[in-house]
Structure 1
Amino acid sequence: MKKENYDESNKHSLNHLQLPFLTETILRQSFIIDYDRNEKIVSQTTKLDYLYIILEGKARIIQQEANGKNLILQFLETGDFIGEQTLVKAEAMPKDVIAIDSVRCLAIPMGVVESTLMKQPEFPTFIAQYIGKKLLLRMTHFSNAQTFELKYRLAALLVEVAVNDQYSENNTQIADYLGVSYRHLTHTFKYLRDNGYIEKNKGGYLIDQKKLHELIRAGNEA
C-alpha cells in the first residue's frame, strides 16, 4: 500500500467520474492510496476510517462465513464506492474488499464525509441512488442465474473481472458466486476453451474479449 495526500497532480484521475460534490476543500483533506494485487483495501475486522472511491482498477467484495469459507458477494470497478453501506449505518462493519490487480483509490476520511459531504443536499441523494443501483445489480445477478445458461453468465463474468484480458480468480469461489457446482463450472470453462473464447495459461486464462462479447450478445438474443 502506498498513501499520499491528494494534490492537483491527481485531478486527472477524477475528471472522468463527474462527482461535483468533491470540492477542493474536501479533496485537500483526502488521500490517494495505491494497492497491489490481492492486497486488502478494507478488512471485515477493522473499523472503517475512509469512504473510498475506486479511481483505477477492479476489486472483489468477500464475506467470511462462520465456517471459514470466503464468498464473493460482488465485483467493483472504476467509479465504485467502498464503505457506503457503513456510512449510512446499513452495516456495522464492512466486508473484506480485495484488489484484483493494482487499484488506486481516493480515500475521504469518514469524519469529513459525515461533517461536510452528508450536509450537502446532493450527496445523500447521490449515495442513496448508488446503493439502490447496486442492489438492482445484485438482483439481476440472481435473476440471471435462473434464466441464462452458465456459458453466457461465465462469459459476462470473464469480461467483467479480467485485467488486461487475464482472468486469475479462484474458481471455487467463482462457482459459489455463480451458484453452480465446481464440476459444472469446469465443464463450461472447457467449452469456452475448446471453442476459442479463452486460452489456458500459467496465471489462469487469457480471454478473447471480442468473441466473448459475441457470445454474450447471442445469450441476450436467445
Structure 2
Amino acid sequence: MEKIDDDDLKQQLMTQCHFESLFGPKLAQHAELLHFKTQEYIVENGIQPEYLFYLVKGKAKLYDSLANGKDTLIDFFTPPCFIGEMELLDAQSEPFSVQVIDDCYCLALPVRKYRSQLLSDPTFLQNVCIYLSHKNARNIKTASRNQGFTLSQRLAAFILLTAHNGYYNEKHTQVAEYLGVSYRHLLFVIADFVKAGYLQKDQRGYQIADQKALQRLAWEVNSSDN
C-alpha cells in the first residue's frame, strides 16, 4: 500500500465518483488517497481494516481463507464501491480477504479517528444502506445467473472480469465453486475456449486471444446486471 500525496489527483477522483456527496459536511475532506498494486491485499482475512475504503479505480476480489487452508471465492469489487463498511458497522464482524486484481486506487478514511463521526452521520448511513441493498440484489442476480445462463456465457463474463493485462489466471477449483459447476465441467469449457481460439495457454496462464468473441458470449450475462 502506498499513500499518494497528490491533491489534484485526489480531488479529480473525488469529483468523478461524487465522493463528497456520500458524507456529511467536511468529512470527505479528511480522506487519504491510497494505491494498491496487483496481488496486494486491501483487507487481510481476520484482520480488522484500519480504513473505510472507497474503491475509485481498479478491480479486487473477495474470498474467505478457511481453517483447512482452502480459499473460497465470494465476490468481486469494481468501482465505485465501499470496502470495509461491514467491519465499520459491526466491529465484531470477521473480515474476509480483499485482494487486488488490477492496480487499485481508494479514497480512505481512518476508522479509528473517524468511526464515531461516520456512525453518527445520517448522510453516510443512508448511502451505506443503499449500497448494501444494491450489493444484496447483485448477489441474488449472481445466484440466479448460475441457473439462467450457460457455463460458456458465465465463464466468458468471469474471464473478462478477472483478467489482468490480457491474462486469466484464477484457480480452477475456486472458479468451479463460484460458478456452481464441477471442476471437470469447467476444464472442459476452458479447453473448448482454447480450441476455438478465444484463449491461448502459455507459461503465464491463459492469454485472451479473441476478446470480442468472449464479449459476445458474455453480453447477455453482463446485460442482466443493468
Q: Report the counterpart of residue 147 of structure 1 in structure 2.
A: 148
Identity of aligned residues (%): 33
- The normalised TM-score by structure 1 is 0.87
Letter in 2 for 1:209: Q
SS at match of 2:93: coil
- The normalised TM-score by structure 2 is 0.86
Letter in 2 for 1:214: R
- 2:93 matched to 1:105? no
- 2:208 matched to 1:209? no
SS at match of 1:141: helix
For residues 71-124 of structure 1, the C-alpha deviation after alignment (integer angstroms, 9 at most, x for no partner) is: 010011121211111222286221111111322211211245533344333221
Q: CA RMSD in A?
A: 2.5
Q: For residues 88 and 201 of structure 1, do their structure 2 counterparts lie closer, same or farther at Cα, with a shift above 3 Å needed?
A: same
Q: Which one is further off, 45-54 or 208-217?
A: 208-217
Does the CA contact (< 8 Å) of 1:199 and 1:205 recur in 2?
yes
Does the CA contact (< 8 Å) of 2:85 and 2:128 recur in 1?
yes
For 2:65 and 2:92, locate their aligned partners in 1 and report how far apart those are by CA, in whole Å. Answer: 15
Q: For 1:20-169, list aligned pairs within 5 A.
A: 20-21=21-22, 25-89=26-90, 92-111=93-112, 113-169=114-170
Unaligned runs of 5+ in 2: none
Does the CA contact (< 8 Å) of 2:64 and 2:72 recur in 1?
yes
Q: For residues 94 and 194 of structure 1, do their structure 2 counterparts lie closer, same or farther at Cα, with a shift above 3 Å needed?
A: same
For residue 138 of structure 1, report the CA deviation from its aligned partner.
1.4
Does the CA contact (< 8 Å) of 1:6 and 1:30 recur in 2?
no
For 2:168 and 2:66, locate their aligned partners in 1 and report how far apart those are by CA, in whole Å. Answer: 25
Q: How many residues align?
A: 221
Does the CA contact (< 8 Å) of 1:58 and 1:101 recur in 2?
yes
Q: Report the counterpart of residue 175 of structure 2 in structure 1.
A: 174
For residues 122-180 of structure 1, the C-alpha deviation after alignment (integer angstroms, 9 at most, x for no partner) is: 22111111111111111111211122211111011112122343222222211121122
For residue 32 of structure 1, report the CA deviation from its aligned partner.
1.8
Unaligned runs of 5+ in 1: none
For 1:196 and 1:88, locate their aligned partners in 2 and report how far apart those are by CA, in whole Å. Answer: 47
SS at match of 2:30: coil
